[in-house]
């Protein structure tokens, strides 16, 4: 298996380079977070290599479990890439505190039970480590759940699926460790599945998207993204069925082609998808609102800015994975 392990190290090294080029390509907030997301995953792979897979693995690395700390931040990084206007402190404080708590507890436990202790102590410590890891996956699961609303464009889908693959691989490997023991073929299959999704995402971001018609500097890009978000929250123009890219460009005094590029870069969506995502969020609120229980779906979709029931149903299904009635039934259980 040395060849496979060395191949993983080589691939993770190119992942670091890939993250660097994504950062250089476009220094918008979205791309900076995508770069950080892929860089962190690559760092976890490199850590695994020198801790477990290298023939000269360093036992010190097994004490200071960096992966226990790093993967807490994958979920927040993903969400910041999907919604770059968010304040990063709102998403990193709790995972950071959990990381310090878990990391400190693990180091204390390892040193207390393993140093000059029996192998039984080592086995017990490893079991505790597995359980801590399962708990530390909660932020990833939470952010993966929140990210479902952004599953509406190819870059976003790849980003979300990459975190899903990581959760599947990590959970699968640890479940095997707790039950059947280490099974190399399955474990490596899970690792390469994670690698495929993370680096496919990176290469698509780097070379798969269309070249922009406008060169927008990162500071200007971030300002326009902020202006767009403020407009959508304050003025709620998406409620107007006649709201178009041209009308938004006139309101913001930005050329429509430049604005289209900014929306694609900043939100990972086309204009129509971006506007519809706001309309669907509004529809979801109205569908479960007590004051709208006597309104028909047609009345609600018209109030949210849609002018066609078929377009509304298609957009709602795409954004939520459910029909409007299925969503309503799930959100309001019959008493």
Low-confidence residues of the chain: pLDDT under 50: 118-119, 211-212
Question: What pLDDT is recorded for position 244?
Answer: 92
Do the Cβ atoms of 240 and 305 come closer than 8 Å?
Answer: yes
Question: What pLDDT is recorded for position 60?
Answer: 59
Distance, CA of 47 to CA of 2 (rounded, Å): 16
CA torsion, ordered 325, 328, 334, 335, to nearest 10 deg:
-160
Task: Walk me through the domains of the chain, giving residue ranges and CATH numbers.
Answer: 2-208 (1.20.1070), 218-331 (1.10.10.60)
- What values do phi and psi take at 209, rounded to 5? -85, 160
Do the Cβ atoms of 268 and 30 come closer than 8 Å?
Answer: yes
Q: Let me know if 242 is exposed, middle or buried by CB neighbors in 10 A (0-12, 13-18, 19+).
A: exposed
The token pair at 227 is 């202006």
């Amino acid at each position: 298996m040395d060849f496979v392990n060395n191949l993983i190290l080589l691939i993770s090294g190119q992942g670091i380079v890939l993250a660097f080029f994504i950062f250089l390509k476009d220094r918008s907030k979205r791309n900076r977070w995508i770069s950080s997301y892929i860089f962190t995953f690559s760092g976890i792979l490199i850590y695994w290599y020198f801790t477990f897979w290298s023939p000269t693995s360093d036992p010190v690395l097994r004490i200071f479990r960096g992966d226990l700390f790093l993967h807490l931040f994958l979920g927040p990084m993903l969400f910041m890439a999907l919604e770059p206007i968010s304040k990063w402190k709102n998403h990193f404080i709790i995972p950071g505190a959990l990381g310090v708590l878990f990391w400190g507890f693990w180091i204390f436990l390892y040193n207390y039970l393993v140093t000059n202790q029996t192998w039984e102590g080592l086995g017990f410590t490893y079991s505790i480590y597995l359980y801590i890891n399962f708990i530390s996956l909660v932020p990833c699961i939470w952010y993966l759940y929140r990210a479902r609303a952004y599953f509406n464009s190819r870059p976003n889908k790849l980003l979300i699926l990459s975190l899903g693959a990581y959760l599947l691989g990590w959970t699968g490997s640890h479940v095997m460790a707790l039950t059947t023991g280490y099974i190399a073929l399955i474990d490596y299959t899970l690792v390469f599945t994670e690698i495929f999704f993370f680096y496919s995402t990176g290469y698509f971001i780097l070379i798969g998207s269309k070249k922009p018609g406008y060169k927008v500097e990162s500071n200007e890009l971030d300002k326009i993204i902020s202006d767009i978000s403020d407009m959508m929250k304050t003025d709620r123009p998406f409620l107007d069925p006649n709201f178009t890219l041209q009308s938004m460009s006139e309101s913001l005094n930005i050329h429509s082609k430049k604005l289209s590029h900014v929306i694609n870069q900043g939100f990972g969506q086309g204009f129509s998808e971006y506007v519809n995502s706001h309309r669907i969020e509004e529809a979801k609120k109205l569908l479960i609102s007590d004051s709208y229980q006597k309104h028909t779906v047609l009345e609600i979709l018209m109030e949210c800015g849609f002018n066609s029931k078929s377009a509304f149903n298609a957009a709602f299904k795409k954004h939520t994975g459910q029909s409007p009635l299925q969503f309503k039934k799930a959100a309001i259980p019959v008493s």
